[in-house]
């Protein structure tokens, strides 16, 4: 699941993860993402989450997902311009597993997914 | 524009002479890719102009920069996970047992480049050694520019995005303007020195673990053999050597035995007296 209020960023992230054989669902903010989660039959393995979004921001989304046992298997990765030390600590404390600071290279996303065990090492070109 | 045969010959002779690194024909693309940023930095329009200047009588600094550029490997934290998993699963527990009396460990990052591997090893030891243990990491490289960067221990956001788990980033780094700086306790455990692996080593202490990854591939067989022998002499009898995934001691230095661990291999001096660990490979 790709959650970002920028369509361009959603497209970039969609391209990266669909290249790694993930099926992608998009949402424009945290609220929309929560709605999509209730509609989906299968819990997504991974959510890439922007921080600053209208209605429900990324941190609020992480907190909400972590509070619901149904979504325990979801890996949550922040992908955001928020780059202060304290912000990263807050996101991790709220339950995010990983954190990528924008701007990023596609390899950064791939590296993190390998480290998280979501894709095998060497699976990507 | 591609590199002329003469230009490639000049560069390959230079790095062979200065760093014992073999650049075979076919590596023109690599030379060009590494030299283009140098040309731009010098304000020159092309690699050809830069090469002309480097070959001139006042081209010493340019020639050093060429050697630097072609002996530099990209490194990035835990990205190549297998050797680090082998460290936590096998090597550290093993050494903790045998180093009980000294409670200390010394590790060498033998081609430390911009320092990520050396700092990664320091973080790994900090996270995995029992309380009360001390450790030191030596990072060496032939490139003075890379050593200076490694010593500063400051990395851009793009660099810390690459293969550094976020929980370790916030635990062991502090923000410093647009960069991230390795925290003082980790920095204190790591030192950097210039060393040409292809030349005889100055006096050095012995090591429990040596990381020599993605370096041997650049050397001819004779240089590989000499480097491995020198390293074997500095490795404790029950120490461990890690090479790059495409490298091996097999058929080059029989003084090492291969130990398969997980999806990677480590190498130990064959004269080691400790009991074998893991599965010994056949070659």
Q: How far apart are CA B205 and CA A54, in angstroms?
A: 58
CATH 1.10.530.10, domain B81-280, yes or no: no
Q: How far is B165 from chain A (nearest CA, A)?
A: 7
Name the residue of chain A whose CA is nearest to B171's CA. A89
Beta strands of chain A (E only): which ranges?
2-3, 26-27, 46-49, 75-80, 98-101
Q: Is A103 on the interface with B (CB under 8 A)?
A: yes
Helices B28-41 and B5-19 sit at what angle, rounded to 10 degrees?
90
- Are the beta carbons of A92 and B162 separated by less than 8 Å? no
Task: Measure Cα distances from A125 to A98, A110, A120, B96 in Å.
Answer: 22, 10, 12, 38
Q: Is B157 on the interface with A (CB under 8 A)?
A: yes
Name the residue of chain A whose CA is nearest to B181's CA. A85
In which band, very low, low, confident or very high, does the pLDDT at A104 lie, cut at 50, 70 and 90? confident
pTM: 0.80
Contacts of A105 in chain B (CB under 8 A): 158, 161-162
The highest-level CATH class for domain A2-115 is: alpha beta
Q: Is A93 on the interface with B (CB under 8 A)?
A: no
Task: Measure Cα distances from B279 to B193, B208, B267 in Å.
Answer: 35, 20, 12
Q: Given this model, what pLDDT does residue B274 score?
A: 46
* Disruptive mutation site among A112, A113, A116 for chain B (greatest number of B CBs within 10 Å): A112
For chain A, which residues make up each domain, given as ranges? 2-115
Q: Is B159 on the interface with A (CB under 8 A)?
A: no
User: Tell me: the pLDDT tens digits for A17-69?
Assistant: 999 999 999 999 999 999 999 999 999 999 999 999 999 999 999 999 999 99
Provide CATH 1.10.155.10 ranges for chain B: 5-70
Label residues B210-243 b or e (16+ Cβ within 10 Å = b): bbbbbbbebbeeebbbbbbebbbeebbebbbbbb
User: Domain spanning B5-70 has what CATH number?
Assistant: 1.10.155.10
In which band, very low, low, confident or very high, does the pLDDT at A14 lie, cut at 50, 70 and 90? very high
Provide CATH 3.40.50.150 ranges for chain B: 81-280
Q: In Å, how far from its chain's centre is CA B145?
A: 14
Residues of chain B with pLDDT under 50: 272-276, 278-283
User: Tell me: the pLDDT tens digits for B112-166?
Assistant: 989 999 999 999 999 999 999 999 999 999 988 899 999 999 998 888 888 899 9
């Amino acid at each position: 699941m790709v959650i970002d209020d920028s369509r361009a960023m959603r497209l970039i992230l969609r391209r990266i993860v669909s290249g790694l054989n993930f099926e992608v669902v998009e949402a424009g903010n945290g609220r929309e993402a929560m709605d999509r989660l209730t509609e989906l039959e299968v819990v997504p393995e991974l959510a890439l989450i922007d921080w600053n979004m209208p209605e429900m921001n990324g941190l609020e989304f992480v907190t909400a997902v972590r509070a619901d046992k149904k979504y325990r298997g979801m890996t949550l990765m922040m992908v955001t311009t928020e780059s202060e030390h304290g912000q990263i600590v807050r996101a991790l404390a709220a339950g995010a597993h990983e954190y990528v600071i924008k701007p990023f290279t596609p390899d950064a996303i791939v590296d993190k997914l390998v480290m998280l065990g979501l894709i095998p090492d060497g699976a990507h070109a | 524009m591609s590199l002329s045969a003469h230009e490639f010959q000049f560069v390959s002779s230079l790095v062979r002479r200065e760093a014992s690194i073999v650049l075979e024909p076919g590596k023109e693309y690599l030379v060009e890719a590494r030299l283009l940023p140098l040309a731009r930095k010098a304000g020159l329009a092309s690699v050809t102009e830069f090469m002309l200047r480097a070959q001139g009588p006042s081209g010493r600094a340019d020639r050093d920069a060429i050697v630097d550029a072609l002996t530099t490997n990209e490194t990035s934290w835990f990205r190549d996970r297998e050797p680090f998993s082998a460290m936590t699963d096998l090597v550290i527990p093993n050494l903790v047992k045998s180093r009980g009396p000294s409670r200390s460990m010394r590790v060498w990052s033998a081609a430390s480049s911009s320092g990520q591997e050396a700092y990664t090893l320091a973080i790994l030891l900090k996270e995995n050694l029992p309380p009360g243990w001390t450790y030191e990491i030596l990072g060496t490289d032939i490139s003075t520019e890379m050593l200076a960067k490694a010593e500063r221990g400051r990395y851009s956001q793009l660099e810390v995005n690459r293969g550094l788990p976020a929980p370790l980033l916030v635990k062991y780094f502090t923000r410093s303007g647009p960069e991230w700086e390795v925290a003082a306790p980790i920095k204190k455990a790591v030192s950097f020195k210039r060393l040409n692996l292809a030349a005889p080593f100055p006096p050095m202490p012995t090591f429990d673990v040596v990381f020599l990854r993605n370096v041997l591939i650049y050397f001819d067989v004779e240089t590989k053999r000499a480097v491995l022998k020198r390293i074997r002499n500095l490795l404790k009898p029950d120490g461990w050597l890690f090479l790059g995934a495409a490298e091996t001691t097999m058929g080059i230095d029989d003084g090492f035995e291969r130990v398969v661990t997980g999806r990677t291999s480590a190498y130990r001096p064959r004269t080691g007296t400790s009991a074998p660990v893991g599965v010994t490979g056949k070659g």
